[in-house]
Chain A
Amino acid sequence: MGETYKVPVGPIHIALEEPVYFKVTVHGETVEHVDILSGFVHRGMEALVLRRNFLQNMIITERTCSLCSNNHPFTYIMAVEKIAGVKIPPRAEYLRVIADEVKRAASHLFNVSMLAHLVGFHSLMTQTMETREVLQDVKESIWGNRMDLGANTIGGVKYDLDKEQIRYLIKQLNSIKKPIRELAAIYRDNRIVRARTEGVGVLSKEDTLRLGVVGPTARGSGVNNDIRLIYPYAAYDKLDWDVVLEDGCDVRARALVRLREVFQAINLVEQCLKALPDGPVKTKGFPRIPKGEGVARTEAPRGELFFYVKSDGSSKPERMKWRVPTYLNWEALKVMMPGNKIADISVIFNSIDPCISCTER
């Protein structure tokens, strides 16, 4: 028993079929040390966007990742709007929140269903996916695509909701409330799920603050860093909501944060639909982007997303840089994993809701 071994995990088939490679040092079956190797899906997007104009980049940024595909163009557009000094109409602000929260609910349901898959509870996974399918149908019916909504544009939003669509949206959201409540109870109380998630992948509050962890991963350790609250954008400051916090610090706490945020997202969409002001959804014409720099932050489903855009007054950006939440969160894996069993690696990895294609771009 006194020996340590090195076990390669990845680069294929870790949690979400995304490529990242772990060099794990184990003592018996217990993880002692983790090394992360990445760079398998680098696509050179930051160079690619410099060869496209501002309108084309709305789509390119959206293709960075499919699960937070609304937040990338959203943040990019907010940064460009800051350079151009555009103020979007109030109706557009609410519509942006609606698109964002529907995506957030679907993304969180996907992550918790992956958790069920990794703990070996496949019927729970299919059932969660089945419930999520209602949201996918909503996205397809209103925005035209299951993942890439294309909701935002520079100066407003591309879509508008008429009375019938609002009725449809409310009906569909009401129809998933009961199934999600049932599923959340299983995630919370089921013996198998608890045995695999409770006390696994512990990240203390001190480590969370030290590593700058963001999003539901940090909120599962009781750290409130929700950009929607501390740096409000769109219509978030006009809505009535509270940040979801759990203090379990483990995989279970993070899953519970996500499940509670699904309800919160549904609630926020309903509030937006009730308070939706009349008026245009977009400023007139296309604004000229002058020379300048802009930054924007939003709360993506995985945490804080940051965009920097520099324009030289031409039709193309001079420099663009984005920092995605997973980049901060995967450092925390080196704290979470040691002390756990090999079988828990994928569960812990999934608990930060990793998005490798975002991080490596």
Chain B
Amino acid sequence: MAGFFKIAIRNFLNSPTTDPYPFGETFTPENYRGIIDYTPELCIGCNTCEYVCPSGAIRVREKEDGSGISFSFWLNTCSHCGNCGYYCPTDAVFNSNDFHTARHQSEKFIPTIDDGISYVQCSNCKQKMKRPVEALLARAYEEITEEVRHQTSLCPECRRMKRFERM
């Protein structure tokens, strides 16, 4: 028993090891995989997050009025695995370190994030298309020139025609 007395006496002299949360600060690491956050400006609507999500908490669909792509996220279905953030090519979906998941019962089955991106028009034929995202261009091209900018303002069909004309 003597072995444990030493530990007990030491504990008696030390301050409590628990945090006074919620009345004070608690330890929240920078890397903690908390609630998912979404930045529409970075989203390219590629559907990767929905493909890798094991719990089906994310839905990426074309908007009903055809004006863009919607992104819906259900917090209650999420298992905080971080797969969506890991595979997102532009970091539009990411885990914040917020762990406060309590919500009202009325919000249980509705998406906690209901956002999305709008289509832009092709500068040539005015057809709707997904817009170019800076983060992805930076990965694809070493230098983003005016030529590249012009190319990305065209829809895939017009781009092909333009390239064809140049040949």
Contact = CB atoms under 8 A, between A and B. Distances in A.
A204 B38 CA distance: 58
Nearest to A54: B52
A190 B1 contact: yes
Contact of B4 (A143, A144, A190): A190
Given A123-B4, A182-B3, A190-B3, A59 B29 contact: no
Range class of the A interface residue count: 20 to 34
B79 interface: yes
Contacts of B81: 59, 62, 148, 150
A53 interface: yes
A142 B1 contact: no
B119 interface: no
A56 B57 CA distance: 12
Contacts of B1: 190-192
Contacts of A145: 32-33, 80
Given A150-B33, A189-B3, A144 B87 contact: no
A179 to B, nearest CB: 8
Interface in B6-52: 6-8, 11, 17, 27, 29-33, 51-52
Interface string A119-141: 00001100100100100010011
Interface string B65-80: 0000000000000011
Contacts of A150: 33, 81-83, 86
Contacts of B86: 150, 153, 158
Contacts of B156: none
Contacts of A96: none
A250 to B, nearest CB: 21
B29 A141 contact: yes
B78 to A, nearest CB: 11
Contact of A130 (B17, B27, B32): B17
B31 A59 contact: no
Contacts of B83: 55-56, 58-59, 150
Contact of B79 (A59, A127, A143, A189): A59
Nearest to A192: B1
Chain B, interface SS category: loop
A219 B150 CA distance: 68
B91 to A, nearest CB: 14
Interface in A190-238: 190-192
Interface string A47-88: 000001101111110110000000000000000000000000
Contacts of A58: 83
Nearest to A126: B11
Interface string B85-104: 01100000001000000000
A130 to B, nearest CB: 6
Contacts of A124: 4
Given A150-B33, A150-B81, A186-B3, A56 B8 contact: no
A271 B110 CA distance: 49
Given A56-B83, A59-B79, A130-B17, A142 B7 contact: no
Contacts of B6: 182
A140 B29 contact: yes
B155 to A, nearest CB: 27
Given A123-B4, A191-B1, A144 B31 contact: yes
Given A56-B53, A60-B54, A182-B3, A144 B79 contact: no
A140 B4 contact: no
A53 B56 CA distance: 12
Contacts of B4: 123-124, 127, 186, 190
B54 A57 contact: yes
Contacts of B31: 140-144
Nearest to B82: A150
A182 to B, nearest CB: 6
A55 B52 CA distance: 6
A132 B87 CA distance: 32
A41 interface: no
A185 interface: yes
A144 B95 contact: yes
Nearest to A130: B17
Contacts of A62: 81
Interface in B119-163: none
Contact of B3 (A153, A158, A185): A185
A55 B87 contact: yes
Which residue among A52, A144, A190 has the maximum number of chain B CB atoms within 10 Å of its CB? A144
5 contacts: A142-B31, A144-B31, A145-B33, A150-B82, A192-B1
Across the A-B interface, give the 8 residue pairs with the lowest CB-CB distance, nearest first. Answer: A144-B33, A56-B54, A141-B29, A59-B54, A59-B81, A55-B52, A186-B3, A144-B31
Interface of B: 1, 3-4, 6-8, 11, 17, 27, 29-33, 51-55, 79-83, 86-87, 95
